[in-house]
A = this chain, B = another copy of it.
Amino acid sequence: MGVTIKEVAKAAGVAPSTVSRVIADNPRISPATKKRVRKAMKELGYHPNVNARSLVRSSTQAIGVVMPSSADKALQNPFFPEVLRGISAVAHDLEYSLLLSTGETEEEILEGVQRMVYGNRVDGVILLYSRLKDKVMEFLYEQNFPFVIVGKPNENTDTISHVDNDNIRASREITEHLIELGHRCIGFIGGSKDLAVTVDRMTGYEEALKKAGLKAKKDYRVHTEFLKSGGRKAVHELFSLPEPPTGLVISDDLMSIGVINMLEEFGLYVPEDVSIVSFNNVYMAEVTRPPLTTVDINIYELGAQASKCLIEKIQNKNEPAKRIIVPFEIKHRLSTQPLNEETTKRA
Protein backbone atom coordinates (compact mmCIF):
# COMPACT_ATOMS: atom_id res chain seq x y z
CA MET A 1 0.00 0.00 0.00
CA GLY A 2 2.58 2.51 1.06
CA VAL A 3 5.62 3.56 -0.91
CA THR A 4 8.68 1.56 0.04
CA ILE A 5 12.33 2.20 0.31
CA LYS A 6 12.91 0.38 -2.94
CA GLU A 7 10.73 2.71 -4.91
CA VAL A 8 12.52 5.66 -3.46
CA ALA A 9 15.80 4.01 -4.34
CA LYS A 10 14.71 3.50 -7.90
CA ALA A 11 13.44 7.04 -8.20
CA ALA A 12 16.68 8.45 -6.87
CA GLY A 13 18.80 6.04 -8.85
CA VAL A 14 20.48 4.48 -5.83
CA ALA A 15 20.33 1.24 -3.88
CA PRO A 16 17.84 0.66 -1.09
CA SER A 17 20.68 0.51 1.39
CA THR A 18 21.66 4.00 0.44
CA VAL A 19 18.18 5.26 1.12
CA SER A 20 18.25 3.57 4.46
CA ARG A 21 21.49 5.29 5.28
CA VAL A 22 20.11 8.61 4.23
CA ILE A 23 17.25 8.10 6.65
CA ALA A 24 19.76 7.39 9.37
CA ASP A 25 21.80 10.36 8.22
CA ASN A 26 24.82 8.16 7.86
CA PRO A 27 27.99 10.21 7.13
CA ARG A 28 29.12 7.72 4.51
CA ILE A 29 26.59 9.14 2.11
CA SER A 30 27.63 12.28 0.25
CA PRO A 31 25.59 15.43 0.74
CA ALA A 32 24.70 15.46 -2.92
CA THR A 33 23.21 11.98 -2.82
CA LYS A 34 21.42 12.71 0.41
CA LYS A 35 19.80 15.68 -1.16
CA ARG A 36 18.71 13.69 -4.17
CA VAL A 37 17.32 10.89 -2.07
CA ARG A 38 15.50 13.24 0.25
CA LYS A 39 13.91 14.89 -2.71
CA ALA A 40 12.72 11.55 -4.00
CA MET A 41 11.34 10.66 -0.58
CA LYS A 42 9.42 13.86 -0.43
CA GLU A 43 8.08 13.54 -3.95
CA LEU A 44 6.88 10.04 -3.43
CA GLY A 45 5.56 10.76 0.04
CA TYR A 46 7.69 8.10 1.59
CA HIS A 47 7.38 7.12 5.24
CA PRO A 48 9.35 4.28 6.74
CA ASN A 49 7.45 1.25 7.89
CA VAL A 50 8.12 0.92 11.58
CA ASN A 51 7.22 -2.73 11.69
CA ALA A 52 9.90 -3.67 9.25
CA ARG A 53 12.33 -1.55 11.14
CA SER A 54 11.31 -2.95 14.48
CA LEU A 55 11.74 -6.43 13.11
CA VAL A 56 15.36 -6.08 12.15
CA ARG A 57 16.33 -3.77 14.95
CA SER A 58 14.27 -5.76 17.40
CA SER A 59 13.28 -2.55 19.05
CA THR A 60 10.04 -0.77 18.57
CA GLN A 61 10.21 2.87 19.46
CA ALA A 62 7.45 2.50 21.97
CA ILE A 63 6.97 2.37 25.70
CA GLY A 64 4.13 0.78 27.58
CA VAL A 65 2.24 2.59 30.30
CA VAL A 66 0.44 0.51 32.86
CA MET A 67 -2.48 2.05 34.68
CA PRO A 68 -3.92 0.53 37.82
CA SER A 69 -7.06 -1.51 37.72
CA SER A 70 -10.02 0.48 36.58
CA ALA A 71 -12.37 -1.53 38.74
CA ASP A 72 -12.63 1.19 41.34
CA LYS A 73 -13.03 4.83 40.56
CA ALA A 74 -9.38 5.51 41.19
CA LEU A 75 -8.81 5.83 37.50
CA GLN A 76 -10.92 8.94 37.50
CA ASN A 77 -8.25 10.58 39.55
CA PRO A 78 -6.75 13.44 37.56
CA PHE A 79 -3.39 12.17 38.70
CA PHE A 80 -3.35 9.88 35.70
CA PRO A 81 -3.98 12.27 32.86
CA GLU A 82 -1.46 14.58 34.40
CA VAL A 83 1.28 12.02 34.77
CA LEU A 84 0.50 10.85 31.26
CA ARG A 85 0.98 14.36 30.08
CA GLY A 86 4.47 14.36 31.52
CA ILE A 87 5.32 10.98 30.09
CA SER A 88 3.93 11.88 26.74
CA ALA A 89 5.84 15.12 26.50
CA VAL A 90 9.27 13.58 26.71
CA ALA A 91 8.26 10.49 24.79
CA HIS A 92 7.07 12.66 21.95
CA ASP A 93 10.28 14.61 22.01
CA LEU A 94 12.36 11.49 21.76
CA GLU A 95 10.05 10.07 19.14
CA TYR A 96 8.68 7.28 21.22
CA SER A 97 5.11 6.06 21.03
CA LEU A 98 2.93 5.24 23.99
CA LEU A 99 1.12 1.95 24.44
CA LEU A 100 -1.54 1.92 27.07
CA SER A 101 -2.59 -0.95 29.25
CA THR A 102 -5.55 -1.02 31.55
CA GLY A 103 -7.99 -3.60 32.67
CA GLU A 104 -10.70 -4.22 35.17
CA THR A 105 -8.81 -6.89 37.04
CA GLU A 106 -5.20 -7.48 37.86
CA GLU A 107 -5.35 -10.53 35.66
CA GLU A 108 -6.44 -8.50 32.68
CA ILE A 109 -3.71 -5.98 33.22
CA LEU A 110 -1.11 -8.68 33.43
CA GLU A 111 -2.36 -10.17 30.18
CA GLY A 112 -2.06 -6.80 28.55
CA VAL A 113 1.48 -6.32 29.76
CA GLN A 114 2.46 -9.77 28.66
CA ARG A 115 1.09 -9.08 25.23
CA MET A 116 3.21 -5.97 25.11
CA VAL A 117 6.37 -7.63 26.31
CA TYR A 118 6.22 -11.03 24.68
CA GLY A 119 4.95 -9.63 21.44
CA ASN A 120 7.85 -7.20 21.25
CA ARG A 121 5.46 -4.32 21.13
CA VAL A 122 7.39 -2.11 23.51
CA ASP A 123 10.96 -1.52 24.59
CA GLY A 124 10.12 -0.71 28.17
CA VAL A 125 7.31 -0.16 30.61
CA ILE A 126 6.27 2.50 33.08
CA LEU A 127 4.26 1.33 36.05
CA LEU A 128 1.91 3.98 37.36
CA TYR A 129 1.39 2.49 40.78
CA SER A 130 3.22 0.40 43.27
CA ARG A 131 1.45 -2.16 45.35
CA LEU A 132 2.51 -5.06 47.48
CA LYS A 133 3.10 -8.34 45.70
CA ASP A 134 2.10 -6.97 42.37
CA LYS A 135 2.05 -9.63 39.66
CA VAL A 136 2.84 -7.19 36.92
CA MET A 137 5.92 -5.91 38.64
CA GLU A 138 7.05 -9.40 39.49
CA PHE A 139 6.63 -10.39 35.89
CA LEU A 140 8.71 -7.54 34.58
CA TYR A 141 11.34 -8.08 37.21
CA GLU A 142 11.69 -11.76 36.43
CA GLN A 143 11.81 -11.13 32.70
CA ASN A 144 14.48 -8.58 33.36
CA PHE A 145 12.53 -6.25 31.12
CA PRO A 146 13.32 -2.54 31.36
CA PHE A 147 10.77 -0.76 33.51
CA VAL A 148 10.43 2.10 35.90
CA ILE A 149 7.90 2.68 38.63
CA VAL A 150 6.21 5.95 39.42
CA GLY A 151 6.18 5.58 43.16
CA LYS A 152 8.27 3.42 45.41
CA PRO A 153 8.76 -0.31 44.96
CA ASN A 154 7.93 -2.36 48.02
CA GLU A 155 11.06 -4.41 47.67
CA ASN A 156 14.28 -4.41 45.66
CA THR A 157 14.30 -0.69 46.10
CA ASP A 158 17.75 -0.21 44.72
CA THR A 159 17.60 -2.51 41.77
CA ILE A 160 14.35 -1.08 40.46
CA SER A 161 14.43 2.34 38.89
CA HIS A 162 11.73 4.55 40.23
CA VAL A 163 10.71 8.14 40.45
CA ASP A 164 8.92 9.31 43.51
CA ASN A 165 8.47 12.15 45.95
CA ASP A 166 9.85 12.07 49.42
CA ASN A 167 6.42 11.24 50.70
CA ILE A 168 7.52 10.62 54.23
CA ARG A 169 9.01 14.06 54.56
CA ALA A 170 6.14 15.68 52.72
CA SER A 171 3.67 14.06 55.03
CA ARG A 172 5.70 14.95 58.07
CA GLU A 173 5.89 18.57 57.04
CA ILE A 174 2.26 18.96 56.23
CA THR A 175 1.28 17.24 59.46
CA GLU A 176 3.59 19.60 61.30
CA HIS A 177 1.74 22.44 59.66
CA LEU A 178 -1.41 21.21 61.32
CA ILE A 179 0.41 20.92 64.62
CA GLU A 180 1.75 24.45 64.31
CA LEU A 181 -1.79 25.61 63.86
CA GLY A 182 -2.49 24.24 67.29
CA HIS A 183 -4.14 20.97 66.38
CA ARG A 184 -3.51 18.13 68.77
CA CYS A 185 -6.02 15.56 67.67
CA ILE A 186 -5.07 14.70 64.14
CA GLY A 187 -6.44 11.83 62.13
CA PHE A 188 -5.17 10.11 59.03
CA ILE A 189 -7.28 8.92 56.14
CA GLY A 190 -5.61 6.96 53.41
CA GLY A 191 -6.16 4.32 50.76
CA SER A 192 -5.19 0.70 50.83
CA LYS A 193 -2.22 -0.17 53.01
CA ASP A 194 -0.93 -2.27 50.13
CA LEU A 195 -0.05 0.90 48.29
CA ALA A 196 3.45 2.08 48.95
CA VAL A 197 2.34 5.66 48.81
CA THR A 198 -0.19 5.17 51.58
CA VAL A 199 2.40 3.62 53.82
CA ASP A 200 4.88 6.44 53.31
CA ARG A 201 2.36 9.14 53.94
CA MET A 202 1.20 7.40 57.05
CA THR A 203 4.76 7.04 58.25
CA GLY A 204 5.43 10.73 57.82
CA TYR A 205 2.25 11.54 59.67
CA GLU A 206 3.24 9.33 62.58
CA GLU A 207 6.74 10.73 62.69
CA ALA A 208 5.39 14.23 62.99
CA LEU A 209 3.08 13.24 65.81
CA LYS A 210 5.82 11.45 67.67
CA LYS A 211 8.21 14.34 67.24
CA ALA A 212 5.60 16.66 68.72
CA GLY A 213 4.97 14.27 71.55
CA LEU A 214 1.43 13.57 70.44
CA LYS A 215 -0.33 10.28 70.74
CA ALA A 216 -0.75 8.41 67.48
CA LYS A 217 -4.01 6.68 68.30
CA LYS A 218 -4.97 3.68 66.23
CA ASP A 219 -8.53 4.96 66.25
CA TYR A 220 -7.44 7.99 64.33
CA ARG A 221 -6.44 6.01 61.31
CA VAL A 222 -8.83 5.14 58.55
CA HIS A 223 -8.05 3.12 55.47
CA THR A 224 -10.65 3.15 52.80
CA GLU A 225 -10.77 2.46 49.13
CA PHE A 226 -11.18 5.89 47.71
CA LEU A 227 -14.74 6.79 48.48
CA LYS A 228 -16.73 3.64 48.91
CA SER A 229 -19.70 3.62 51.21
CA GLY A 230 -17.46 1.86 53.70
CA GLY A 231 -15.54 5.09 53.87
CA ARG A 232 -18.58 6.94 55.05
CA LYS A 233 -19.02 4.57 57.91
CA ALA A 234 -15.37 4.85 58.90
CA VAL A 235 -15.47 8.61 58.85
CA HIS A 236 -18.63 8.58 60.88
CA GLU A 237 -16.98 6.42 63.51
CA LEU A 238 -13.93 8.64 63.53
CA PHE A 239 -16.06 11.62 64.48
CA SER A 240 -18.08 9.68 67.00
CA LEU A 241 -15.00 9.15 69.12
CA PRO A 242 -15.06 10.71 72.58
CA GLU A 243 -12.30 13.01 71.42
CA PRO A 244 -12.80 13.49 67.69
CA PRO A 245 -9.98 14.87 65.57
CA THR A 246 -9.84 18.56 64.73
CA GLY A 247 -7.34 18.01 61.96
CA LEU A 248 -7.12 15.46 59.20
CA VAL A 249 -4.26 14.35 57.00
CA ILE A 250 -5.75 12.78 53.90
CA SER A 251 -3.63 11.00 51.36
CA ASP A 252 -5.40 12.25 48.27
CA ASP A 253 -7.15 15.45 47.21
CA LEU A 254 -10.14 13.69 45.76
CA MET A 255 -10.62 11.81 48.98
CA SER A 256 -10.53 15.12 50.77
CA ILE A 257 -13.36 16.40 48.68
CA GLY A 258 -15.38 13.34 49.50
CA VAL A 259 -14.60 13.65 53.17
CA ILE A 260 -15.54 17.31 53.25
CA ASN A 261 -18.83 16.32 51.77
CA MET A 262 -19.44 13.63 54.34
CA LEU A 263 -18.50 15.90 57.18
CA GLU A 264 -21.04 18.39 56.05
CA GLU A 265 -23.68 15.70 56.29
CA PHE A 266 -22.66 15.24 59.90
CA GLY A 267 -22.92 18.97 60.46
CA LEU A 268 -19.20 19.59 60.51
CA TYR A 269 -17.56 22.26 58.38
CA VAL A 270 -14.10 22.70 56.94
CA PRO A 271 -12.06 24.52 58.11
CA GLU A 272 -14.20 25.86 60.94
CA ASP A 273 -14.70 22.55 62.69
CA VAL A 274 -12.04 20.45 61.06
CA SER A 275 -8.85 21.42 59.28
CA ILE A 276 -7.84 19.29 56.36
CA VAL A 277 -4.59 18.81 54.48
CA SER A 278 -3.99 16.43 51.66
CA PHE A 279 -1.78 15.48 48.75
CA ASN A 280 -1.33 15.86 45.00
CA ASN A 281 -2.64 19.31 44.24
CA VAL A 282 -4.78 18.27 41.35
CA TYR A 283 -6.60 21.00 39.57
CA MET A 284 -9.79 20.32 41.50
CA ALA A 285 -8.07 21.09 44.77
CA GLU A 286 -7.89 24.69 43.72
CA VAL A 287 -11.45 25.21 42.60
CA THR A 288 -13.29 23.28 45.23
CA ARG A 289 -14.72 24.84 48.36
CA PRO A 290 -12.75 25.41 50.43
CA PRO A 291 -9.64 25.33 48.26
CA LEU A 292 -7.39 22.69 49.73
CA THR A 293 -4.14 23.10 51.57
CA THR A 294 -2.24 20.32 49.91
CA VAL A 295 1.16 19.02 48.92
CA ASP A 296 1.94 19.74 45.31
CA ILE A 297 3.82 16.62 44.31
CA ASN A 298 4.55 17.84 40.80
CA ILE A 299 2.76 15.11 38.96
CA TYR A 300 3.82 16.25 35.53
CA GLU A 301 7.45 16.06 36.51
CA LEU A 302 7.00 12.59 37.93
CA GLY A 303 5.82 11.47 34.54
CA ALA A 304 8.46 13.33 32.60
CA GLN A 305 11.27 11.97 34.72
CA ALA A 306 9.94 8.45 34.52
CA SER A 307 9.77 8.69 30.78
CA LYS A 308 13.28 10.07 30.50
CA CYS A 309 14.70 7.53 32.88
CA LEU A 310 13.10 4.63 31.06
CA ILE A 311 14.27 5.72 27.67
CA GLU A 312 17.81 6.14 28.93
CA LYS A 313 17.69 2.65 30.24
CA ILE A 314 16.35 1.34 26.96
CA GLN A 315 19.03 3.04 24.96
CA ASN A 316 21.82 2.01 27.22
CA LYS A 317 21.22 -1.45 28.55
CA ASN A 318 23.64 -1.15 31.42
CA GLU A 319 22.46 2.14 32.73
CA PRO A 320 22.28 1.60 36.49
CA ALA A 321 19.01 1.55 38.40
CA LYS A 322 18.10 5.01 39.53
CA ARG A 323 15.98 6.58 42.17
CA ILE A 324 14.73 9.99 41.27
CA ILE A 325 13.14 12.17 43.90
CA VAL A 326 10.92 14.95 42.62
CA PRO A 327 10.62 17.89 44.97
CA PHE A 328 7.28 18.82 46.46
CA GLU A 329 5.83 22.06 47.62
CA ILE A 330 3.12 22.76 50.14
CA LYS A 331 0.29 24.89 48.85
CA HIS A 332 -1.38 26.82 51.61
CA ARG A 333 -5.02 27.43 50.96
CA LEU A 334 -8.22 27.60 52.93
CA SER A 335 -8.94 24.14 54.26
CA THR A 336 -6.90 24.75 57.38
CA GLN A 337 -7.11 27.27 60.18
CA PRO A 338 -5.64 27.70 63.66
CA LEU A 339 -7.36 25.61 66.27
CA ASN A 340 -8.30 28.49 68.57
CA GLU A 341 -10.35 30.10 65.83
CA GLU A 342 -12.49 27.03 65.90
CA THR A 343 -16.17 27.74 65.48
CA THR A 344 -15.67 31.50 65.71
CA LYS A 345 -16.47 31.93 62.10
CA ARG A 346 -19.72 30.03 62.19
CA ALA A 347 -20.80 31.23 65.59
**Residues of A with Cβ closer than 8 Å to B?**
1-2, 47-52, 54-55, 58, 60, 62, 65, 70, 73, 75-78, 80-82, 84-85, 88-89, 92, 95, 97-104, 108, 111-112, 115-116, 118-121, 227, 254, 257-258, 260-261, 264, 282-284, 287-289
A116 to B227, CA, bound (A): 38
Closest residue on chain B to residue A112 by CB atoms: B92
Please list 23 pairs of residues, one from A and one from B, whose beta carbons are closer than 8 Å in the complex, sorted by A's number.
A2-B118, A49-B119, A51-B60, A62-B99, A70-B81, A73-B283, A75-B81, A75-B82, A76-B78, A78-B78, A85-B102, A88-B100, A88-B102, A92-B102, A92-B112, A97-B99, A98-B101, A99-B99, A254-B284, A261-B288, A264-B289, A284-B284, A289-B289
Q: Is the pair A47, B119 in contact by a Cβ cutoff of 8 Å?
A: yes
B84 in contact with A100 (CB, 8 Å): yes
Q: A108 to chain B: closest CB distance in Å? A: 6
> When the two chains form their complex, are residues A120 and B81 in contact, meaning their CB atoms are under 8 A apart?
no
Report the separation of the CA atoms of residues A76 and B253 in the bound assembly, to the nearest whole angstrom.
14
Known: A55-B51, A227-B287, A288-B288. A85 touches B89 (CB 8 A): no
Question: Cβ of A118: which chain B residues have Cβ within 8 Å of it?
Answer: 2, 47
Across the interface, name the chain B residue whose C-beta is closest to A85.
B70
Q: A49-B55, A99-B97 are in contact. Are A89 and B104 (CB under 8 A)?
A: yes
